[in-house]
Every structure is written in C-alpha cells, then in structure tokens.
Amino acid sequence: MRPYFAIMNPLGRELKDVQKIHLTDNYESLRKVESELAQEKEKAKNIGLSTEKMNARGELTVWQRIEYLVDEGCFYPLHMLYNPADNQSCTTNVVDGLARIAGRWAVLIGFDNRYMAGAWVPGQPENILRVTDLANRLNIPLIWLVNCSGVKLDEQEKFYAGRRGSGTTFFRHAELEQLGIPILAGIYGTNPAGGGYQGISPTILFAHKNCNIAVGGAGIVSGMRPKGYFDIQSAEELIDVARKFKASPPGSTRIHYDETGFFRFVFEEETDVLNALREYMTKIPAYAPDFFQVAEPQSPLFPLDDLYYLLPSNPKRTYSFDDILARLVDGSEHMEYKPESGPEVYTGLVKVNGFLVGCIGNRQGILPENYPEYADYPGIGGKLYRQGLIKMNEFVCLCGRDRLPIIWFQDTTGIDVGDTAEKAELLGLGQSLIYSIQQTDVPMMLITLRKGSAAAHYIMGGPTANRHNAFTLGTAATEIYVMYGETAAVAAYTRRLIKEKDAGRPLDPIIEKMNELVRQYHETSRPVFCAKAGLVDEIVPMEELRSYMLAFAGAAYQNPRSICPQHQMLLPRSINALKTQTEESVWQENISYSVPTGSKWEDQN
C-alpha cells in the first residue's frame, strides 16, 4: 500500500505577502481574542494559594506535579475554562488533558490542591465524566493525581447525588477496568470520604508517605454522635476529638500499606511518586508508532501562522477550507474522496504524524451552477445538501470499515430547509449520518473552526456523538448556536409583530426585544462562553491546533481495540480507482519501491 500513501496529492496554496498585508486586520483580530482567552485561562490557573506558599508547606502544586510527570512539552490541556456551575473559583477544581508520559499517551487529571485542598465542587462530576469517557474512547490509561479533601460541604446539594453526581466517577473507574483500561493514581495529602473513594477506586495506588485515604476524615469521625443541636459542651468535645484526629488522621500509610496493603508503593518524596508513575507507564500495552504509520512523519509545507490570515474572524466572509487543512496535515498532502460530488463538503484521507486519518470539513462560498441538483436556487458553502450528506455517510462507513480515526472540521450554518429539501430526503439523510457515525466505533475529534449551528452541529461529529467524539476544540472565531440571533428573533417575534401591527399598537417594544435576543445570542455563543459552558472542551490557539491533532492521532493508534491491515483497506483503493492512468504513472515515477513480478504496477510500466 506504500504507493497510496508515500506521496499523496498536493493540497493548498502559498499565502503571498501582499495577501498578508491585506488580511492584517483579521490576523490582529484573532490574536486579540486569543490574548483575552489566555488571560482567562491564567486567571483560572492561579486560583487559590500561591505556588510559593504551597512549596513552603512542603507540597508541590498540581501544575508542578504535571510538569514533572509529563514528557517535556507534551501536555495538552482540556477544560481549562470549563465552569458549568459558574463557581466563583472559575474552575471545576480539576486539571486535565492528554499527556505523553514516558513516551506513551494517557489521559491525565489531578485535583487542584491550591483551592480548598482539592475539594469536590459543583460542575466537577461532569468534568470527570468527560475525562473517563476520553480514556474509554481512546483506550488509553487514566492517570490520577489524587489530593482531595472531600465535599465542599456548603454546596453538596449541587453535585453529591444524582445519576451524574460525584459518585458516578467510581462506577466509571470500574467500567474502565472491566474494559482493560488501567487507572494509575499518585496519592497525596488528606483524602477523606469522597477523597477516600477517589483514592481506592484506581487500579494501582502510588502513595506519598504523608497521604491518607479513609471512609471518613477527622471532621466526620469527630461528629459521629450528634445531639441534634450544638452547645458549649459539644463544641469543646469536638475540639478535643478533632485535634486528636488531625494529629493522626485515619487511613494513613501505616494502615493502608502495612495493614491492608491497598497502597502498592509508598515513597518518601513527592517526585518519587511521579517517577513510579512514569515507570509504570512503560509497562502498559502500547504499539510502537511505526506499527501503524503509513509514511514518515512530515511537517506541513506552509506555516501554521498563516491560519490567522486564512480563517476570517467575520463569520460572513468565505475562505478556502483546503488552504486551512494544508497548514495542519503532513506534507500538505491528501487523497480526496469523491471531489466531484457534494461540493459543499470535503472528505478525504490525510496523514497526521505519519498516521492515516479521515478528514471531513465544510467548504465555503458559492457552489457550482445547478447545485443542489434538486432545487432551483443556488447552493452556498457551509450548508449541507443531498449529495454532501450521502458522501459523508459513505466516507464515515468506509473509515469505520478500515478502522481509521476521523477529524471533523465544522463551519456550518445547517442543513438545507423547505419542502424541496424535504422531498430530497435531507431529514432522513441527516439521521442516516448519525447512524453511520454510531456504527463505526472509531475515535473522532472535532475542530469547530467558526460556526457550529443547527442540526449540522450534531451530525458532523459534534460532542453529542459522545460515544465517538473524544473531544471538541474551538478557535478564537468559534461561535455555537441553534441559529443566527437575527433568525431566532424573526422566529420568536414575527407573529407578535403582526399581532401588534393589527392592533394598532407601536412596534418599538417588540423590536427592542428582538434586538435584545440578538445580543443574547451573541454573548452566549462567544469562545469564552463556549468553553465555560462545555460546548467545546478547549479553545485552542490556531498555532496549537496541529499539536492537538498529533496528540489525538498518537493516542488513537497507541492501543486500538480493532485493526484493519493496511493492505486490506478499501477507502484508499476507492479513492485511487477514480484517478486517471496519468496520475498513477506520476506516482510510480516519484516513488522508489520493489515491484513484485506480475504486479499491476509492473504491467502499467
């Protein structure tokens, strides 16, 4: 199969200096938004006690532990701004992301021990569910840095119980282990109650000498005999008992290493715990990258910085999706599937760090004349039509058959509407794409370049495909909504306008409500809102998009649950069957390989 992959078709065009000058405002606009996002992330990152104060106590912060544990430059954070409960701390009090540790990929998560000693807080269970889902989808280890003081008691009603409450984590841990996915935990500090189960539920426990895990902590144990009220006597008794348990909290290493044996190892230094985690990462099942790589890794031909010129911050401006993709994939090469069909959608194979990946994205601008073929109106890029939906269905099914991960790129205004579109079966074809995605069972990631809108946001690999979508990234240009704010205002208030007009009443109050709805849609679709609400898993600077793609591809191919041998793949052959004899001849002239006697390649020569 080397002739298919070694040299693919060129993709994209060079960006000229004169074009960059013309697009300087766009460059600066996107950089400005990214700077604002970076400030928000830095604010969330520095909530709680300072690094200096933590270190003076003899503790490393969660960020210091991550920096020590992870291979240099190989931590790709997710959910930095995720804060669905709108906590004053600005976070869910955990730090997580994809990480390469000792050369192997894992999902890494740790409690932020600077804020309330790593307490459970509102919104945190949803964050942890995303993390356990990610480990499941990619079939890679989950690494915990446990330092959890238990429930934030004055807000326990918001997250303790329920189907997706804090205790769900422990069932998800058991589920991962039943699937053969190991969970390694480095344990620090005091971990009572929920923190205790957080410590006991992983597969192997690596303990720091000063840590403990217990069903109940000092505060709980000392309050086990309540009268139904408090008085001076009970307060004095509480003080005495609490002091005793603080001096010797339950569940120390003396109990859980020497007696129960729950702790596999105990270490003197915090960094020794991390060293042990690194060592155990080398023991997990993992294929060497070249087992699956179809070619030597290459950088794109064009600089990543070009993306700031090429992706318009104005959502109404068009651009070339092919030029965007050319800045993100190996060698700026691709194999496009059915370019003659469904021109509003790109489908094709690309290489990411030498790994073969399926790619799907929205094309922009005015589409060819007489398209869509079923309508008497022109087609516009970003919208989905019959041919594009059929093409995506076919491509997704072939990727599933060939066990290829998929990277989706969204910039969509939705699916074509109206009776003509209904007669063309677009409603059914949209659901067909959902069915196709659901039956593929391959890892997928989504990059919402700009617009994620209407049902198209669901069907194009959106986060709602949560058994398959590993994670979703956004950019400084991302906006996600069910429809444009103006469209929503028309849908919500047109009948009211008619009613007020017929009654002879002034229209100004309704117009103001319409404008207010437009403003609301704008505010609740911006990148920061999307990140806080969890509509995306992370807003990533343009120049870091490829790094996340490399991490996704490396993790997806590290230990896949199923394999299609390269020489048994159909999708590359399906694409190549559409090529002309001339194109195949050019391939042969540019590739050096041995030709088996009697092969089709020898015959063509």
Task: State mean pLDDT over 527-548.
Answer: 98
SS3 assignment for 184-253: EEEECCEEECHHHHHHHCCCEEEEECCCEEECCCHHHHHCCCCCCCCCHHHHHHHHHHHHHHHHCCCCEH
Q: Is residue 324 part of a domain?
A: yes
Positive/negative CA dihedral, 450, 455, 456, 460: positive
**What gap in Å lies between CA 142 and CA 136, rounded to an integer?**
9
Note the pLDDT of residue 358. Answer: 98
**What gap in Å lies between CA 389 and CA 312, rounded to an integer?**
25
pLDDT band at residue 240, thresholds of 50, 70 and 90?
confident
Tell me which long-range contacts 457-462 makes (C-beta under 8 A, separation of at least 24).
457/410, 457/412, 458/434, 459/415, 459/430, 459/431, 459/433, 459/434, 460/360, 460/362, 460/392, 460/408, 460/410, 460/412, 460/433, 461/360, 461/406, 461/408, 461/410, 461/437, 462/408, 462/410
**What's the whole-model pTM score?**
0.92
**Whether residue 41 is found in the same domain as residue 55:** no
Question: What single DSSP character describes residue 331?
Answer: G
**What gap in Å lies between CA 162 and CA 149, rounded to an integer?**
21
Q: Is residue 36 part of a domain?
A: yes
Q: Is residue 375 part of a domain?
A: yes
Q: Is residue 302 part of a domain?
A: no
For 377-391, how does the pLDDT look when each residue is reduced to its tens digit (9 = 90+)? Answer: 999 999 999 999 999
Q: If you search the block for the tokens 């191919």, which residue do you land on? A: 557
**Whether residue 360 is found in the same domain as residue 402:** yes
pLDDT of 525 above 50: yes
Count of domains for the chain: 3
pLDDT band at residue 596, thresholds of 50, 70 and 90?
very low
**Whether residue 456 is found in the same domain as residue 386:** yes
**Whether residue 183 is found in the same domain as residue 88:** yes
pLDDT band at residue 599, thresholds of 50, 70 and 90?
very low
**Whether residue 407 is found in the same domain as residue 507:** no
Q: What are the residues whose beta carbons fall under 8 Å from the beta carbon of 164, sequence distance 6 or more? A: 125, 126, 129
Note the pLDDT of residue 246. Answer: 65
Of 89-93, 366-370, 537-541, 575-579, the range with the lowest mean pLDDT is 575-579
pLDDT of 457 above 70: yes
Note the pLDDT of residue 32. Answer: 98
For 178-192, how does the pLDDT look when each residue is reduced to its tens digit (9 = 90+)? Answer: 999 999 999 999 999
For 464-516, how does the pLDDT look when each residue is reduced to its tens digit (9 = 90+)? Answer: 988 899 999 999 999 999 999 999 999 999 999 999 999 999 999 999 999 99
**Whether residue 179 is found in the same domain as residue 325:** no
**Whether residue 212 is found in the same domain as residue 124:** yes
Task: State mean pLDDT over 282-302.
Answer: 97
For 257-269, how does the pLDDT look when each residue is reduced to its tens digit (9 = 90+)? Answer: 999 999 999 999 9
**What gap in Å lies between CA 400 and CA 540, rounded to an integer?**
28
For 383-431, how does the pLDDT look when each residue is reduced to its tens digit (9 = 90+)? Answer: 999 999 999 999 999 999 999 999 999 999 999 999 999 999 999 999 9
**Whether residue 71 is found in the same domain as residue 33:** no
Q: Is residue 299 part of a domain?
A: no
**Whether residue 142 is found in the same domain as residue 81:** yes
Note the pLDDT of residue 410. Answer: 98
**Whether residue 468 is found in the same domain as residue 501:** no
Domain, as residue range, for 488: 484-524
**Whether residue 235 is found in the same domain as residue 354:** no
Q: Is residue 350 part of a domain?
A: yes
Q: Is residue 581 part of a domain?
A: no
Q: Is residue 115 part of a domain?
A: yes
Note the pLDDT of residue 583. Answer: 52
Q: What is the CATH number of the domain that holds 401?
A: 3.90.226.10
Q: Residue 241: what residue type? A: V
What's the whole-number average pLDDT of the chain? 92
pLDDT of 35 above 50: yes
Note the pLDDT of residue 244. Answer: 67
Annotated catalytic residues are 151, 194, 415, 455
For 38-59, how does the pLDDT look when each residue is reduced to its tens digit (9 = 90+)? Answer: 999 999 999 999 999 999 999 9
Q: What is the percent of the chain with per-residue pLDDT over 90, rounded to a whole number?
A: 86
**Whether residue 243 is found in the same domain as residue 197:** yes
Note the pLDDT of residue 338. Answer: 96
